[in-house]
Amino acid sequence: MRELSLHILDIAMNSIEAEATRVIIVVEELESENLFRIRLRDNGKGMTKDMQEKVTDPFVTTRKTRSVGMGLSLFKQAALQCNGNFKLTSELGKGTTVLAEFQLDSLNRSPLGDINSTMINLVMGTLDVHFMYIHRTDSGRFCFDSYWIFGRMAEHNISFYKAGELAKEFIEQNLEFVNSKG
């Protein structure tokens, strides 16, 4: 994957397929620690210890349409080749957390890329899941809550898709804010 935000979309799709109703995505870009950290936490059905051990093996998947599952393996590989860490924790019936850490200035690290499109796609396409996106840098943090869209719809009496466009602008402005220095 060319962008880390594409991995985020991919891993969040796992949460949706695991019947999660809440997905929290945290991206931390900390120059002070030379660290880029991505965390996805869901309240989906979770997985057994056995599955947790095997799941980053590309030839393990729960899917029936094909027998290889690349998503988590690719994400893990992306982190490890950047001097990073990868950790998956899960409890059956409670949910799953995926943590990937990258050395921020590693030459192998893909850029975060268009995280805004990743979030808008997730939020607009999966209404029954409550998404939270938190982005933190040394200069600040912001949080986007997918309920924001319903708030705008009600407040301004606009369509769902129009509210989605406003959400995109909102995220863009906030990303600019947390990425500006000082």
Partner 1 sequence: MKTLADLRAMKEKAKREMTARDENSKYRIVVAMGTCGIAAGARNVMSAILDEINKRDIADTIVTQTGCLGYCNQEPLVQVFQQNKKVVTYGKVTPEIARRIVAEHIVGEKILTEQVFMQN
Taking the C-alpha atoms of residue 107 and residue 92, their distance in angstroms, rounded to an integer, is: 37
- Measured from the CB atom, the residue of 104 and 167 that comes closer to partner 1 is 167
Task: Supply the minimum distance, in Å, between the C-beta of residue 140 and partner 1.
Answer: 25
| The two three-digit tokens of residue 77, written as one number | 């590989």
Taking the C-alpha atoms of residue 99 and residue 72, their distance in angstroms, rounded to an integer, is: 11
In the complex, the residues that contact partner 1 under the rule CB under 8 A are 1, 6, 9-10, 13, 16-17, 63, 65-66, 69-71, 74, 114, 117-118, 120-121, 124-128, 147, 150-151, 153-155, 159-162, 164-165
Region at 64 (left for phi over 0; alpha for psi -120 to 50; beta for the rest): alpha
- Measured from the CB atom, the residue of 91 and 165 that comes closer to partner 1 is 165
Task: Supply the minimum distance, in Å, between the C-beta of residue 117 and partner 1.
Answer: 5
Taking the C-alpha atoms of residue 69 and residue 171, their distance in angstroms, rounded to an integer, is: 31
- Measured from the CB atom, the residue of 92 and 154 that comes closer to partner 1 is 154
Task: Supply the minimum distance, in Å, between the C-beta of residue 132 and partner 1.
Answer: 15
Task: Supply the minimum distance, in Å, between the C-beta of residue 73 and partner 1.
Answer: 9
Taking the C-alpha atoms of residue 82 and residue 166, their distance in angstroms, rounded to an integer, is: 35
